[in-house]
C-alpha cells in the first residue's frame, strides 16, 4: 500500500529543442511584453548583447552585472536600470547567477521572466530565490519568483566548457538526490528525480569525451530540467543547507561546492535512510549511493576537495556553527561533531566510508 502524499505542480511553460532560442520574440508576444531587459553575467555579456540586437525594438537594454549568490546590492542596481529603461519584463540569459538575479528582480517588482538556460543549474523551474546580504545567504520560496517561460536550446550548451558542464550537472543531480528523501516527497517527484539523475548519468561522461555531442547535450539539458522541477516541488535538506552556508559565508563557487559536497552529505544522510537512496546505488552499480556518487564524480573529472576552493580547516568550526543555525529538516538530524567530520572529509577529498 502506498503512503499518503500531496503533489502540487509548479512547472512554467517549457520550450525545449535545438534552435528554440529563435523563438524568444514569439514568447515575449505570448507574455504580452514589449520592453525586455536582458540580464547576464559579465562573462556572457557579448552573447546577451547579440540577443538584444536580434530582438531589436522589443529589447530596451542589457544589464550584465549578475554574479554568484545574488548579492542584494547588485539586485538594487539592476532594479534601477530596469526602472530607468522602462522595462516590462526580464530575459535571463545564462545559468544560476543570472537566473537568480532575474528572480530577485521579480520578487521585488513582480515582473514576468523569460529564461534562456545555458547551464544545468535547474533553478529556472523553481519558486526558490537564494540571495546574499552582508555575507549571509538566505532562501525565499514564493511563486512570484517562478519564471513564466523557460527556453532550453541544447545548441547554446555546446560551447560550455567540460569542467563547467560537470560541475553544473552534479549540481542538478544534487537537487534530485535530496528530493528522494525529502519530508514531502511523493511518487511523481521521486520518478522525476530518478529520470533526471539517470539522464545526467548517461550524458556527463559522453560530454566529457565529446563536448559537442548533440544527443548527450540534449540529454543533459533534459535531465537538469527534471532535477530542477524536483528542487521546486519538494523541500531540500542538509546538502542545500551546507552549500548555502559555504557559498554565502565563504564565497565559494556555487556549482563546484555542490559537486564536492554531494557524496559527503549523502553519506551523512544515507546512514539513516539507506532504502531511500538505494535506487541511486543501483544506478551507479555500487552498494552505497555516497560511494557511487563520489566515484562517478571523480571519473568525469569533478573537483573533490573544498580546500582547492579556498576553504581551510580553520573555517570548519564557523561553517558547522552556521549550518546548525535554523537547520533544514533532514532524515538524520544535524549534529555538530558529525557535520564537522563530514566537512573535514570534503575538505580533504576523502572517499566517503574511508577512515
Q: Are residues 181 and 151 in the same domain?
A: no
* Average model confidence (pLDDT) across the chain: 95
Within a domain: 75: yes
Residue 272 lies in a domain: yes
Both 104 and 182 in one domain: the answer is no
* Displacement of CA 190 from its chain's centroid (Å): 18
Same domain, 127 and 254: no
**What does the alpha-carbon distance between residue 334 and residue 323 come to, in Å, rounded to a whole number?**
8
The reported pTM is 0.91
More confident residue, 327 or 321: 321
CATH number at residue 198: 1.20.1090.10
**Based on the domain organization, do 142 and 273 belong to the same domain?**
no
Residue 121 falls within a domain, yes or no?
yes
Q: Is residue 286 part of a domain?
A: yes
Please give the Cα distance from 51 to 48 (Å, whole number): 5
Helix (H, G, I), strand (E, B) or coil at 338: helix
Please give the full DSSP string across 43-110, using - where no structure is assigned.
TTHHHHHHHHHHHGGGEEEEEEEE-TT-BHHHHHHHHHHHHHHT-SEEEEEESHHHHHHHHHHHHHH-
Same domain, 178 and 275: yes
186 is a domain residue: yes
Last residue of a domain, one of 92, 125, 157: 157
Same domain, 166 and 131: no
Residue 43 backbone dihedrals phi, psi, to 5 degrees: -65, -35
- Asked if the model's pLDDT at residue 309 lies above 70, the reply is yes
**What percent of the chain stands above pLDDT 90?**
87
Residue 7 falls inside a structural domain = no
Whether the per-residue pLDDT at 3 is higher than 80: the answer is: no
- Tell me what the mean pLDDT of segment 140-148 comes to: 93
Cα→Cα distances 50→45, 55, 56, Å: 9, 9, 10
151 and 179 in a common domain: no
Residue 217 located in a structural domain? yes
With a cut of 60, say whether residue 182 has pLDDT above it.
yes
Cite the beta strand spans of the chain per DSSP E: 13-16, 36-41, 59-66, 89-94, 113-117, 128-133, 136-141, 149-152
pLDDT digits (tens, 9 = 90+) for 34-58: 999 999 999 999 999 999 999 999 9
Number of other residues whose CB lies within 10 A of the CB of residue 84: 11
- 85 is in which domain, residue-wise? 13-157
Residue at which a domain ends, from 139, 157, 175: 157
Mean pLDDT of 92-98: 95
Residue 150 pLDDT exceeds 90: yes
Q: Which residues pair with 92 in a beta bridge?
A: 39, 115
Residues 105 and 206 in one domain: no
Same domain, 93 and 176: no
Confidence tier at 354 by pLDDT (50, 70, 90): low
Segment 282-296, tens digit of pLDDT: 999 999 999 999 999
Domain-embedded: residue 353:
no
Helix (H, G, I), strand (E, B) or coil at 144: helix
Q: Which domain-ending residue is among 115, 135, 157?
A: 157
The CATH number covering residue 90 comes to 3.40.50.1970
Query: What's the length of the chain?
Result: 355
119 and 180 share one domain: no
Q: Is there a single domain that holds both residue 141 and residue 205?
A: no
Question: Which residues have C-beta within 8 Å of that of residue 177, sequence separation ≥ 6?
Answer: 193, 197, 239, 262, 266, 277, 280, 289, 293
Number of domains in the chain: 2
User: Is 106 in the same domain as 82?
Assistant: yes
Amino acid at each position: 500500500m502506498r503512503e499518503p502524499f500531496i503533489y502540487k505542480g509548479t512547472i512554467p511553460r517549457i520550450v525545449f529543442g535545438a534552435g528554440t532560442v529563435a523563438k524568444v520574440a514569439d514568447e515575449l508576444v505570448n507574455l504580452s511584453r514589449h520592453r525586455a531587459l536582458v540580464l547576464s553575467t559579465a562573462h556572457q555579456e557579448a552573447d546577451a548583447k547579440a540577443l538584444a540586437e536580434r530582438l531589436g525594438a522589443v529589447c530596451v537594454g542589457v544589464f550584465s552585472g549578475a554574479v554568484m549568490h545574488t548579492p542584494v546590492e547588485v539586485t538594487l542596481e539592476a532594479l534601477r536600470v530596469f526602472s530607468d529603461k522602462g522595462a516590462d519584463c526580464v530575459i535571463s540569459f545564462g545559468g544560476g547567477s543570472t537566473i537568480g538575479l532575474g528572480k530577485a528582480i521579480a520578487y521585488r517588482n513582480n515582473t514576468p521572466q523569460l529564461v534562456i538556460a545555458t547551464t544545468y543549474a535547474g533553478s529556472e523551474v523553481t519558486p526558490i530565490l537564494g540571495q546574499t546580504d552582508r555575507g549571509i545567504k538566505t532562501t525565499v520560496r514564493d511563486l512570484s519568483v517562478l519564471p513564466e517561460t523557460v527556453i532550453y536550446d541544447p545548441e547554446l550548451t555546446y560551447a560550455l566548457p567540460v569542467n563547467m558542464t560537470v560541475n553544473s550537472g552534479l549540481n542538478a543531480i544534487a537537487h534530485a538526490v535530496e528530493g528522494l528523501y525529502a519530508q514531502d516527497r511523493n511518487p511523481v517527484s521521486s520518478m522525476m528525480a530518478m529520470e533526471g539523475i539517470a539522464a545526467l548519468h548517461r550524458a556527463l561522461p559522453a560530454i566529457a569525451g565529446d563536448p559537442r555531442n548533440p544527443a548527450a547535450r540534449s540529454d543533459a539539458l533534459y535531465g537538469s530540467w527534471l532535477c530542477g522541477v524536483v528542487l521546486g516541488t519538494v523541500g531540500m535538506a542538509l546538502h542545500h543547507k551546507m552549500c548555502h552556508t559555504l557559498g554565502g559565508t565563504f564565497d565559494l563557487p556555487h556549482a563546484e561546492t555542490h559537486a564536492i559536497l554531494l557524496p559527503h552529505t549523502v553519506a551523512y544522510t544515507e546512514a539513516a535512510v539507506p532504502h531511500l537512496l538505494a535506487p541511486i546505488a543501483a544506478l551507479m552499480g555500487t552498494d552505497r549511493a555516497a560511494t557511487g556518487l563520489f566515484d562517478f564524480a571523480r571519473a568525469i573529472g569533478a573537483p573533490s576537495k573544498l580546500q582547492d576552493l579556498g576553504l581551510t580547516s580553520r573555517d570548519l568550526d564557523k561553517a558547522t556553527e552556521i549550518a546548525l543555525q535554523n537547520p533544514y529538516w533532514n532524515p538524520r538530524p544535524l549534529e555538530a561533531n558529525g557535520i564537522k567530520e563530514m566537512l573535514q572529509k570534503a575538505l580533504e577529498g576523502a572517499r566517503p566510508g574511508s577512515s
